[in-house]
Structure 1
């Protein structure tokens, strides 16, 4: 049985909103794509010498897209977890860890903020 990380109860009550400075769009089939501007010294070097794009388009998978669309500024982490379990009932055992890890990544990278 895989070890699961203990989540504080109040974390489940948190509400997140999408960062308005990150443009996004639905690209069909219920999938979402988020734009991220590549700024900073090393990105400018990569853009100039290695022809890297100024804006990266990050396509979310089916799990990330459902979660992203659930971020409405009203739904708590617990509400989002229930929605994810509803969309993916066969994977409900792993869903808590998946949701918490993805939210942490989105928050750490500035795609979402706490409401």
Structure 2
């Protein structure tokens, strides 16, 4: 089975995002989330030493991202999250596709995994 075929068969609505327990985050007085990513590994150490790259990056999420991040409770599936997002931001265009793309970015950067997925 090719990778493209496998990707097309995914039904993201049934996926349950689970936060990476190693990721720290904070919330400011406006409810906006900042996620702190620690760069580990050989190549990151080289970049830190020679290119003065920070050991920890802070990623500030917007209102939508903050809402989704805080709504992830390791039990709700993407469909439930999309309904909550629509209720909170009723004028948001293409909310489901934006939600899925955001979750894919979180997943690609190992900030979340899908429930039942083996940890790499």
Coarse TM-score class (shorter-chain normalised):
0.7 to 0.9
Higher mean C-alpha deviation, range 59-68 or range 7-16: 7-16
**C-alpha displacement at 1:86, in angstroms?**
1.1
- 1:17-96 residue pairs with structure 2 within 5 A? 17-91=18-92, 93-96=93-96
- 2:13 alignment partner, SS class: helix
SS in 2 for 1:28: coil
Aligned counterparts of 2:106 and 2:87: Cα–Cα separation in 1: 22
- How many residue pairs are counted as aligned between the two chains? 108
Q: 2:17 touches 2:113 (CA, 8 Å); kept in 1?
A: yes
Question: RMSD of aligned C-alpha atoms?
Answer: 1.7
Aligned partner of 1:99 in structure 2 is 99
The structural deviation recorded for 1:38 is 1.4
Q: Counterparts of 2:85 and 2:95 in 1: how far apart (Å)?
A: 7
CA displacement at 1:8 relative to structure 2: 5.9
Report the TM-score when normalising by structure 1: 0.84
Q: How far apart, in 2, do the equivalents of 1:36 and 1:12 lie?
A: 27
Task: Name the TM-score, length of structure 2 as normaliser.
Answer: 0.81
Q: Which runs of 4+ in 1 moved over 4 A?
A: none
1:37 deviates by 1.1
Residue of structure 2 equivalent to 1:3: none
- Structure 1: segments with no counterpart, 5+ residues: 1-6
1:80 is displaced (CA, Å) by 0.5
